[in-house]
Every structure is written in structure tokens, then in C-alpha cells.
Amino acid sequence: MLVEIANLWIRFPTAHSMSDAVRGVSLTLGQEKLGIVGESGSGKSLTARAILRLLPESAAITADKLSFDGIDILTANETKLRAIRGKRAGLILQDPKFSLNPVMTAGAQIAEAWRAHRGGTRKLAHQAAIDLLAQVQIREPARVADTYPHELSGGMGQRVMIAMMLAPDPELLIADEPTSALDATVQAEILRLIEDLVSRRGMGLILISHDLPLVSHFCDRVVVMYAGRIVEELRAAELTRAKHPYTRGLLSCIPALSHKQDRLAVLQRDPAWLGA
């Protein structure tokens, strides 16, 4: 089992008390594709970042278990965490415009990730960067390696981000809204690319998204989060048959092309969803 989480709580201090951002989350992940869906602020990204302990210093984290491949993340020192972050578990952020270094070429950034975890000469790392750009299906990879982020389209920038995360050959890939800044056509291309790479390399994948139809077609399992809690977990193929009213409400808010709708449904929230 790659990831094991049991009763994870993440709290942040406020003016008068502590605010619970993630409340009692439990989940596991093997070599599979797990989707985490829910509204903004439901705790999706915080839960995923907790696996790498990439949270603000103000965050208070507690859990009965939080482990990566048997390593206790809560007690691991920085040396152990650095051996996991990037090298064994990669994080793809949602907008390459804000995630890539604007003063370094694409190839230099990929080569830096390669050398940080694999070592080797600058020449070897540069050639590895070109090879990785080819793997993420970028045309003329040698030319693109010498370009700066502002010279890349959104889709190409996201491919560069993926290449950076693949450089150390990780066992887990966390994709946090990897296609939110892209148009529909490029979204499909990026997701097909991620799916192909995950399958060929035998990696585990956590895909964080607001797009329920996308997750239902792309993932093996889906976890639905609301107000910091998991309210439902089911096989992705069965997402349209979800039973929890929150999941049903999210599905009913999606516009349909098969029939005309005068108005989209509005989610009616129930205080009982907040749980204890």
C-alpha cells in the first residue's frame, strides 16, 4: 500500500480558537487512480499535501496513521521527507504560469529536478530533460528545452510541469487540478498523457478535481469531500449512482447536452452533512 491515512485532522488557528479544515479523513491508495472531488475549501488539496507534509507552519496535523510506503510522515525528519518529496512522490500544480520559474528555461528546470534526485553531470541532465519532454509528447523537445515559461502555451507549460515531476521516476503522482487552466481540447490531451504515463510506469495517482464527469471516466475510485470530511467513497464507474445527497446535488448541477434545461439545479445544503 502506497498511502495510508487514518483519522486525519488539520487545524488552523483563528483569533479565538482553532478552525478544523480537514476532519477525520481516512483513505488508502495503492497502484491505482484515486479521484478526490468536492467544492473549493472542502479539504481536497490539504489532504493531498499532508501526504508530503507540505502545509503551512501554522497548520496543526494529527492522525492515527499517516504513512507513505510504511514511512510515518508525522514523525519523519526533513531528510526522510526530502527523500520522498519529488523523488518518490511528485506534485503537479494547477497553473504552470505560477508554478514554473520565469527566469529559467524549461529544460533547465527539468534538469534541475533530475540532478537533485539522480545526480549526474549537467550534460546528462540536459539530455534527460529533452528525453522527458519527448515522453510528454512535446514536438521539437530540444527547441522547447531552451524556451522560457512565458514563451509556452498553457498546454505546453503543463507538459513541462509533468516532465519535471516524472524526472525522478516517482511512485506516486498527485495532480492538483492539472487541467483547470486549459481549454477542453488540451484538457483531454493532458489527461490522456497522465493516464498513459501512470499505466506505463505503474504509479499511484491522486487526481484532485471539481469535474465529476472527468473523474468518473478517468479514475478507478472516487472520494467525495464536503467541509473537510469524506461523505462518500465509491467506484468511479458508479459515480452517477451515488447515494449521498451532496454528491447527488453536485451531479444535478452539471449542465446536460442531451436535454434542454431552463435553469440549472441549485445545491440545497443540509446541516446534517457537517457530521459530528
pLDDT at 276 over 60: no
Within a domain: 197: no
What is the pLDDT confidence band of residue 120, given thresholds at 50, 70 and 90?
A: confident
Within a domain: 115: yes
Number of domain units in the chain = 1
Within a domain: 116: yes
Mean pLDDT (whole number) for 171-196: 81
**HSE-up of 236 (CA within 13 Å, CB side)?**
20
Within a domain: 43: no
Query: What are the tens digits of pLDDT across the range 205-248?
Result: 999 988 888 888 889 999 999 999 999 999 999 998 999 999 99
Asked if residue 230 lies in contact with residue 26, where contact means CB atoms within 8 angstroms, the answer is yes
Query: What are the tens digits of pLDDT across the range 131-178?
Result: 999 988 888 999 999 999 999 988 888 889 888 888 888 899 999 888
Asked if residue 50 lies in contact with residue 75, where contact means CB atoms within 8 angstroms, the answer is no
Of residues 182 and 49, more confidently modeled: 49
- Amino acid 95: pLDDT: 75
Within a domain: 123: yes
Q: For the purposes of burial, counting CB atoms within 10 Å of the CB of 258, is it exposed (0-12), middle (13-18) or buried (19 or more)?
A: exposed
What is the pLDDT confidence band of residue 106, given thresholds at 50, 70 and 90?
A: very high
Single-letter amino acid code for the residue at 270: D
What is the pLDDT confidence band of residue 105, given thresholds at 50, 70 and 90?
A: very high
- Amino acid 26: pLDDT: 97
Within a domain: 140: yes
- Amino acid 228: pLDDT: 95
pLDDT at 96 over 90: no
Mean pLDDT (whole number) for 79-87: 89
Print the domain residue range for 149: 101-169
Within a domain: 109: yes
pLDDT at 83 over 60: yes
Within a domain: 12: no
Mean pLDDT (whole number) for 239-262: 85
SS3 of the chain: CCEEEEEEEEEEECCCCEEEEEEEEEEEECCCEEEEECCCCCCHHHHHHHHHCCCCCCCEEECCEEEECCEECCCCCHHHHHHHECCCEEEECCCHHHHCCCCCCHHHHHHHHHHHHHCCCHHHHHHHHHHHHHHCCCCCHHHHHCCCHHHCCHHHHHHHHHHHHHCCCCCEEEEECCCCCCCHHHHHHHHHHHHHHHHHHCCEEEEEECCHHHHHHHCCEEEEEECCEEEEEEEHHHHHHCCCHHHHHHHHCCCCCCCCCCCCCCCCCCHHHHCC
pTM beyond cutoff 0.85: yes
What is the pLDDT confidence band of residue 181, given thresholds at 50, 70 and 90?
A: low
- Amino acid 168: pLDDT: 85
Report the candidate in 246, 214, 212 with the shortest Cα–Cα distance to residue 230: 246
Query: What are the tens digits of pLDDT across the range 35-44?
Result: 999 998 999 9
